[in-house]
Amino acid sequence: MPDRVLAVLTAPAAGGEADEPYRFVDPAVPLVSAVDLGVTRGDGVFETLGVGEGRAQAVDAHLARLTRSAAMLDLPAPDEEAWRSAVSAVADQLSGHVEAFVKLVYTRGVEGTGQPTGWVLGSPSPDHTVARTEGVRVTVLDRGLSHDSAGNLPWLLQGAKTLSYALNMAAGREARRRGVDDALFVSSDGFLLEGPTSNLLIKDGDRLITPSTSLGILAGTTQAAAFRFASGQGMSTSYEVLPRDVLESADAVWLLSSVRNAAPIREIDGVERRIDVGFTAALNAYLLARRE
């Protein structure tokens, strides 16, 4: 049962010529050129998706977002069918693992060639049981932009899943420096946004609410699945612009992301809060069972 599986896209952009859409390569062998713009500039986009018993989850949603992110960076449109077949082949190799993940990386390519680079890497998932059942402690961090900045500042690429994730990683380290598990961004004028690698979900009675993507946050695939689950339970769902103090009045809150799924928030900046054990378990069971 392989622990790491790597497939390189032969022609990752739409319109490219290739006999085979991908080829498997040894993940231990160096792959990327030292002058690939993905490496030298963080100039590219990526996706991470969950794999359950060899079946990749929410593939359509992730490929659609890869294409949207690429368009925001003026990258050539990815060849979604080539990516889909590589994702499926890599996921299939991981069928011996109950939970795994695949990461799709699409860069602007080697400087001067105009040819994007693309690969799909699969690995078994770390064990997220503690985060899913006992919850996570978070600290609130100011992202430094007002809640209405996204439309006016498109060059900041808010809402695109780019390879320039150093800020997101730094926010995670800041959280750990403060002795907690994760961070939650707010706008400079006090509106709830997202985590560095997750979306925020709020339960208020029989309503599920998440911050609106008009705030320049990523449109989450896990969040979309959570809304489908809630609708199936007869709950209402909505995207809203929410001031930070909503966290105090909400019945329960979660961070949602592919692979970790729903992590209930049990403490915010030192203030403990209730977690909804039953709803969390049902939601995670639904998210884990996805095989589409």
Q: Of the candidates 93, 198, 212, 280, which one interacts with ligand PLP according to CB under 6 A?
A: 198
Q: Which of 145, 246, 234 is nearest to 203 (CA)?
A: 246
Residue 184 C-beta: closest distance to ligand PLP, Å = 11
3-state helix, strand, coil in the chain (%, to 5): 30, 30, 40
CB atoms within 10 A of CB 166: 9
Return left, alpha or beta for 265; rule: phi > 0 is left, psi -120 to 50 is alpha, else beta: beta
Q: Which two tokens stand for residue 152?
A: 């006016």
Asked whether position 212 contacts ligand PLP by CB under 6 A, the answer is no
Return the range that interacts with ligand PLP (CB under 6 A); candidates 85-93, 128-136, 205-213, 255-263. 255-263
Q: Tell whether residue 221 is a contact of ligand PLP (CB under 6 A).
A: yes
Q: Which is nearer to ligand PLP, 154 or 270 (CB)?
A: 154
Choice between 48 and 214, CB closer to ligand PLP = 48
- Tokens 């690939």 locate to 36
Find the shortest distance in angstroms from Cβ 135 to ligand PLP.
18
Judged by CB, which is closer to ligand PLP: 184, or 247?
184
Contact window for ligand PLP (CB under 6 A) among 4-12, 84-92, 121-129, 219-227: 219-227
Q: Identify which of residues 123 and 198 has a Cβ nearer to ligand PLP in the complex.
A: 198
Distance of alpha carbon 161 from alpha carbon 150, whole angstroms: 14
Residues within window 5-44 making contact with ligand PLP, judged by CB under 6 A = none
Piece of 113-121, 122-130, 250-258, 267-275 that binds ligand PLP (CB under 6 A): 250-258
Q: Among residues 158, 197, 212, 284, which is the contact residue for ligand PLP, using CB under 6 A? A: 197
Burial class (CB in 10 A: 0-12, 13-18, 19+), 232: exposed
> E-strand spans in the chain?
5-9, 22-25, 44-52, 55-56, 99-107, 117-124, 136-142, 182-186, 194-195, 198-204, 207-211, 236-240, 252-257, 261-268, 271-272
Closest CA to 56 of 120, 100, 7: 100
* Residue with smaller CB distance to ligand PLP, 93 or 221: 221
Q: How far is the CB of 18 from ligand PLP (least distance, A)?
A: 28
The window from 2-10, 68-76, 133-141, 218-226 that contacts ligand PLP (CB under 6 A) reads 218-226
Does residue 194 bind ligand PLP (CB under 6 A)? yes
CA distance 184 to 195: 4
* Binding of ligand PLP by 220 (CB under 6 A): yes
Residue holding tokens 């966290």?
247
The residues binding ligand PLP (CB under 6 A) are 48, 194, 197-199, 218, 220-223, 256-258
